Chains A and B, each alone.
Chain A
Amino acid sequence: AQSVTQPDIHITVSEGASLELRCNYSYGATPYLFWYVQSPGQGLQLLLKYFSGDTLVQGIKGFEAEFKRSQSSFNLRKPSVHWSDAAEYFCAVGAEAAGNKLTFGGGTRVLVKP
């Protein structure tokens, strides 16, 4: 069975500072990996995904993530955070062998200080 761990429940960053959100997954084969963002009162928006190929993937809103197979990680980064990045971020794993069903991590809530 696949599982996802986001070790940080809350992160507070200053506006303009860099941000890194951690995600570790457990799955036997190479999974599909996703990062979603949920702003207050909103649905989930797909930030970026990894299926195969280049392990550094670029997403929307200036986010990027790096897949590290040896560490079973898919950490999300942004060089300079904007106040509008305050939201809940979810890492998710899917696999074709599992019918592409997504398993979500517990989420990391990001607060941005002015």
Chain B
Amino acid sequence: SAVISQKPSRDICQRGTSLTIQCQVDSQVTMMFWYRQQPGQSLTLIATANQGSEATYESGFVIDKFPISRPNLTFSTLTVSNMSPEDSSIYLCSVEYRHKDRVGEQYFGPGTRLTVT
């Protein structure tokens, strides 16, 4: 499996500000995903980030609020813009492996716990 790191691991931010979360993988991967896990809730997919193309956002998520970069095959960033307390969540990145029987297998980073005050 991949080694995936995220920075920062946690942060407390003021409303109205923005935070950029970094996701680094120790090997090249095609597909990267960003998820949100609100307190006590399950995971919801925000967007799919492919290298060399615009991110694809899920219903309810927009690029102006959650801009994503994917400059190469091992790195991606998610920015949470103009934050409000409702954005307080854990944000997780994941990568997908596509090798023979491991098609569709996703591995997750440790997450970034964001609190907005």
Contacts and interface: CB of A to CB of B under 8 A. Distances in A.
A38 B110 CA distance: 10
A49 B107 CA distance: 12
Nearest to A90: B42
Contacts of A103: 45
Interface string B105-116: 111111100000
B-side interface size class: 20 to 34
B109 A99 contact: no
Given A90-B42, A102-B45, A107-B42, A43 B110 contact: yes
A4 to B, nearest CB: 9
A51 B101 contact: yes
Contact of A105 (B42, B106, B107, B111): B42
Interface residues of A, number: 22
Interface of A: 32, 34, 36, 42-46, 49, 51, 90, 94, 96, 99-107
B43 interface: yes
A96 B104 contact: yes
Given A51-B104, A96-B104, A101-B33, A43 B45 contact: no
B96 interface: yes
Given A100-B96, A105-B42, A46 B107 contact: yes
A1 B72 CA distance: 31
A43 B105 contact: no
Contacts of B108: 36, 43-45
A76 B100 CA distance: 24
B31 A100 contact: yes
A43 B42 contact: no
A94 B42 CA distance: 15
A94 B110 contact: no
B26 to A, nearest CB: 15
